[in-house]
Amino acid sequence: MSSKGKRRLIAVGAVVGTAGVALILIGVFGRARIQGERTGDRIQSICRLADAKSFGAGDALAEAAVKDPDVQVRQAALIGLGRFVEPKYRATVEQSTQDASAPVRRAAAITLGLYGDATAAARLGEVVRGDPAEEVRLGAVMGLGLCAAPETLAWLMEAAEKDDAPDVQYRAIRELYAKLGMSYIGEEPHRVKDWPGQAAFLVEYLKQYQEVQEAYAKAGRPLVRHPENRYVPECERKRQDAPQGEKSEGAGGVPGKEDAGHEP
CATH architecture under which domain 37-147 falls = Alpha Horseshoe (1.25)
CB crowding 21-51: b at 16 or more within 10 Å, else e: eeeeeeeeeeebebeeeeeeebbebbeebbe
Distance (Å, whole) CA 133 – CA 193: 25
Element (H, E) at 14: helix 3-25
Contact 65, 92 (CB under 8 A): yes
Distance (Å, rounded) from C-alpha 259 to C-alpha 120?
Answer: 33
Q: Is the pLDDT of residue 24 over 50?
A: no
For residue 251, what pLDDT band results from cuts at 50, 70 and 90? very low
* Contact indicator for 64, 79 with CB cutoff of 8 Å: no
What is the value of pTM for the model shown?
0.78
- pLDDT tens, residue by residue, 62-101: 999 999 999 999 999 999 999 999 999 999 999 999 999 9
Q: Is the pLDDT of residue 28 over 70?
A: no
- Summarised one tens digit per residue, pLDDT across range 123-163 is 999 999 999 999 999 999 999 999 999 999 999 999 999 99
- What does the pLDDT read at residue 22? 35
Listed by start position, the domains of the chain span: 37-147, 150-264
Residues 233/155, Cβ–Cβ less than 8 Å = no
DSSP 8-state code for residue 148: -
- Residue of 207 and 246 predicted with greater confidence: 207
- Mean pLDDT to the nearest integer, 17-28: 39
